Structure 1
Amino acid sequence: MAFAAIHPEAGRVDATLPDLGCGMSWDAVYKVRPRVALRCPACGHGVHAKVSSRKLRYFAHDPGRPDDCVWLNESLEHHLLKLELATSIRAVGWHAELEVRAPDGSWRADVLASSHDGNHRVAWEVQLSPITDDDIADRTHRYRRDGIGVCWVSTADRIPWIGSVPSIRVREPEENQSWTVIDGVAGFRYADGAWNLMTDVALVDFIGWVLREKAIVHQVLPRYRRIWRGSPDRYVRRHLIWTSPHSIDEEARHNLMRQRQEEWKRRKQEQERAAAQRRKAEEEARRQEEQRQREEREAAERAMREQRWAEQRRQWELQAEQDRLRREAEERHRQEQAQAAEEERLRQEQREQQAAHHWWAEVSAAQDQQLRTAVADPVWKKEAIRLTFDDHGPTAECGYGIPIYRPARWGTQLYGVLRPSPASLHRVPHSVPVFVRNAREAQLLTESGAIEPDRVIHFDLPDYEQLSLI
Structure 2
Amino acid sequence: MAFTAIHPEYGRIDATLGNLGCGLDWSQVHRVRPRINLTCPECEWGVHAKHSSRGLRFFAHNAKRPADCQLSNESVEHHLLKLELATAIRQAGWYAELEVRADGGSWRADVLASSLDGTRRMAWEAQLSAITVEELRERTARYLDEGIGVCWVSPRGEVPWLSSVAAVRVTAPKEDSHVWTVADGLAKFMPRLGSWVRVSDIDLTTFVRWALKEQVTPHTILPRYRRVRLKPEGNLSRRSLCWASPKSTAAESRHEQMRSRQDEQKKRRQERERVEQELKLLEEKARKEEEERRRSIEREAEAEKARERLQAQRDQWEADRKERLARAEEQRRIEEERARKAEQARLAQERHEREAATRWWSELSGEQWQDLLAAIGEFSAQERAGKAYPDKQGVDAEYAFGVPVMARRGLYGIARPSPESVKNWNAYYRLRIFVRNQREADLITAQGVDPTLVVHFDLPDFEQLNLC
Mark yes or no: TM-score above 0.5. yes
- The one-character-per-residue Cα deviations of 1:341-388 (angstroms, maximum 9, x if unpaired) are 66677888999999999x99xxxxxxx99x848846966998999xx9
- In 2, the alpha carbon distance for the partners of 1:447 and 1:32 equals 95
1:203 maps to which residue?
A: 204
Q: 3-state DSSP class of the match of 2:73? A: coil
Q: 3-state DSSP class of the match of 2:72? A: coil
Assess if the C-alpha contact under 8 Å between 1:188 and 1:248 holds in 2. Answer: yes
Say if 1:458 and 1:227 are closer, same or farther in 2 by CA, change over 3 A.
Answer: closer
2:153 maps to which residue?
A: 153
Once the two structures are TM-superposed, the CA of residue 56 in structure 1 deviates from its matched residue by 0.5
Structure with max Cα Rg: 1
Assess if the C-alpha contact under 8 Å between 2:399 and 2:414 holds in 1. Answer: no
Say if 1:73 and 1:331 are closer, same or farther in 2 by CA, change over 3 A.
Answer: same
Q: 3-state DSSP class of the match of 1:230? A: coil
2:114 maps to which residue?
A: 114
Assess if the C-alpha contact under 8 Å between 2:163 and 2:185 holds in 1. Answer: yes
Assess if the C-alpha contact under 8 Å between 2:372 and 2:436 holds in 1. Answer: no
User: Which of 409, 417, 426 pairs up with 2:420?
Assistant: 426
Once the two structures are TM-superposed, the CA of residue 154 in structure 1 deviates from its matched residue by 1.3
1:6 maps to which residue?
A: 6
Say if 1:7 and 1:232 are closer, same or farther in 2 by CA, change over 3 A.
Answer: farther
1:326 maps to which residue?
A: 327
Once the two structures are TM-superposed, the CA of residue 270 in structure 1 deviates from its matched residue by 1.8
Say if 1:313 and 1:93 are closer, same or farther in 2 by CA, change over 3 A.
Answer: same
1:26 maps to which residue?
A: 26
- In 2, the alpha carbon distance for the partners of 1:221 and 1:242 equals 13
Residue 224 of structure 2 corresponds to residue 223 of structure 1 = yes
- The one-character-per-residue Cα deviations of 1:200-256 (angstroms, maximum 9, x if unpaired) are 322222211111122211111111222232179532322212222222222212221
Say if 1:414 and 1:233 are closer, same or farther in 2 by CA, change over 3 A.
Answer: same
Correspondence 1:24-423 to 2 at 5 A:
24-174=24-174, 175-176=176-177, 178-230=179-231, 233-337=234-338, 372=365, 375=368, 415-416=415-416
> What one-letter code is carried by the residue in structure 2 that aligns with 1:140?
T
Q: 3-state DSSP class of the match of 2:274? A: helix
> What one-letter code is carried by the residue in structure 2 that aligns with 1:426?
E
Once the two structures are TM-superposed, the CA of residue 101 in structure 1 deviates from its matched residue by 0.9
Unaligned runs of 5+ in 1: 361-367, 464-470
- The one-character-per-residue Cα deviations of 1:51-96 (angstroms, maximum 9, x if unpaired) are 1111100011111122211123322121111111101111111100
Unaligned runs of 5+ in 2: 379-389, 426-432
1:468 maps to which residue?
A: none
- In 1, the alpha carbon distance for the partners of 2:178 and 2:396 equals 100
Say if 1:375 and 1:216 are closer, same or farther in 2 by CA, change over 3 A.
Answer: closer
- The one-character-per-residue Cα deviations of 1:365-423 (angstroms, maximum 9, x if unpaired) are xxx99x848846966998999xx9xx99x999999x9x89999999xx97548xx8xxx
Tell me which moved more, 112-121 or 195-204: 195-204
1:466 maps to which residue?
A: none
> What one-letter code is carried by the residue in structure 2 that aligns with 1:58?
F
- In 2, the alpha carbon distance for the partners of 1:183 and 1:246 equals 19
Assess if the C-alpha contact under 8 Å between 2:376 and 2:434 holds in 1. Answer: no
Say if 1:332 and 1:435 are closer, same or farther in 2 by CA, change over 3 A.
Answer: farther
Assess if the C-alpha contact under 8 Å between 1:196 and 1:229 holds in 2. Answer: yes
Assess if the C-alpha contact under 8 Å between 1:397 and 1:427 holds in 2. Answer: no
Say if 1:300 and 1:104 are closer, same or farther in 2 by CA, change over 3 A.
Answer: farther
1:467 maps to which residue?
A: none
RMSD of equivalent CA atoms: 4.3
Q: 3-state DSSP class of the match of 2:60? A: strand
Once the two structures are TM-superposed, the CA of residue 192 in structure 1 deviates from its matched residue by 3.4
Q: 3-state DSSP class of the match of 1:21? A: coil
- In 2, the alpha carbon distance for the partners of 1:205 and 1:372 equals 101
Say if 1:103 and 1:457 are closer, same or farther in 2 by CA, change over 3 A.
Answer: same
Assess if the C-alpha contact under 8 Å between 1:416 and 1:433 holds in 2. Answer: yes
Aligned length: 435
Once the two structures are TM-superposed, the CA of residue 308 in structure 1 deviates from its matched residue by 2.1
> What one-letter code is carried by the residue in structure 1 that aligns with 2:188?
G
- In 1, the alpha carbon distance for the partners of 2:356 and 2:245 equals 108
> What one-letter code is carried by the residue in structure 2 that aligns with 1:70?
Q
- In 1, the alpha carbon distance for the partners of 2:199 and 2:173 equals 17
Tell me which moved more, 166-175 or 39-48: 166-175
Q: State the TM-score, normalized to the length of structure 1.
A: 0.78
Assess if the C-alpha contact under 8 Å between 2:110 and 2:123 holds in 1. Answer: yes
> What one-letter code is carried by the residue in structure 2 that aligns with 1:209?
W
